[in-house]
């Protein structure tokens, strides 16, 4: 059968991502709506944040893409295989970018990327005082094995840019178990105010009435 298929011009091939799919007709309007909201909040002196999480990173002597200056003939030696260290595990950088102050906060988690972890990261930012912030962090890691939590956190905390961006970071040793479900009653108790424009996308969470 394989010979017959080959003779007829067939061969084994993988899938190729070429289909873009369709965009929602209100996609661009949604971004314009968010931008207008941001400007109104900033004009009133209200905080506006953008949040972003990066993929999990292995902690240990593993290969990290990129290059850094080393003496000739003295490359950084790393493990051949990327098997997670049972003690060091992985880390999850979660960034909160203060759009008005051009300041950032990064919580580096060592547990699970859950909603509770995200809320805690935003809470730490609030008590301490988007993609464009996280990308600056990872530039400091290029070509450097992330052998310890300190090697991960310290470069983030020392990140600055020519545009004046300043970032602070801290290791979050909290436990964030997965599988926690929100009941229908808990969801119904939320005091949500839906916007007139796509309330399924845009809504405010107000204090619960007592």
pLDDT digits (tens, 9 = 90+) for 50-101: 998 888 888 888 887 777 777 777 777 888 888 888 888 899 999 999 998 8
- Residue 75 corresponds to which tokens in the numbers above? 């490359």
Say what the pLDDT of residue 141 is: 58
Report if residue 108 sits inside a domain: yes
Asked if residue 2 belongs to a domain, the reply is: no
- Residues 6 or more apart in contact with residue 161 via CB below 8 angstroms: 136
Print pLDDT tens along the chain (210 aa).
888 888 888 888 778 777 777 788 999 999 999 999 999 999 999 889 999 888 888 888 888 777 777 777 777 788 888 888 888 889 999 999 999 888 889 999 999 999 999 999 999 888 764 444 445 455 555 656 777 888 788 777 777 777 777 888 889 999 999 999 889 999 889 999 999 999 999 999 998 876
Range of the domain at 130: 42-68+76-180
Predicted model pTM: 0.70
Q: What is the pLDDT of residue 131?
A: 42
Q: From 141, 55, 139, 48, select the one nearest 96 (Cα to Cα).
A: 48
Structural domain total, the chain? 1
In a domain, 207, yes or no: no
- The answer for residues whose C-beta is within 8 angstroms of residue 106's C-beta and 6 or more apart is 93, 94, 95, 96, 133, 134, 137, 156, 157, 167, 168, 169, 170
Yes or no: say if 116 and 176 are a contact pair by the CB < 8 Å rule.
Answer: yes
On whether residue 9 sits in a domain, the answer given is no
């Amino acid at each position: 059968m394989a010979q017959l298929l080959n003779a007829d011009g067939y061969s084994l091939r993988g899938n190729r991502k070429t289909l873009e799919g369709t965009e929602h007709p209100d996609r661009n309007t949604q971004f314009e709506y968010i931008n207008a909201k941001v400007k109104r909040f900033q004009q009133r002196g209200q905080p506006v944040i953008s949040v972003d999480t990066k993929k999990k990173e292995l902690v240990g002597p593993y290969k990290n893409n990129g290059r850094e200056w080393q003496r000739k003939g003295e490359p950084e030696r790393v493990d051949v295989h990327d098997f997670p260290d049972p003690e060091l595990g992985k880390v999850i950088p979660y960034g909160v970018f203060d759009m008005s102050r051009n300041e950032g906060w990064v919580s580096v988690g060592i547990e699970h990327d859950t909603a509770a972890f995200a809320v805690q990261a935003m809470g730490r930012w609030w008590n301490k005082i988007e993609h464009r912030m996280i990308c600056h962090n990872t530039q400091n890691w290029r070509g450097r094995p992330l052998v310890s939590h300190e090697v991960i956190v310290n470069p983030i905390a020392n990140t600055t840019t020519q545009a004046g961006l300043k970032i602070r970071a801290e290791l979050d040793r909290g436990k964030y178990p997965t599988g926690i479900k929100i009941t229908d009653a808990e969801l119904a108790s939320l005091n949500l105010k839906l916007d007139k424009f796509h309330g399924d996308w845009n809504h405010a969470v107000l204090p619960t009435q007592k």
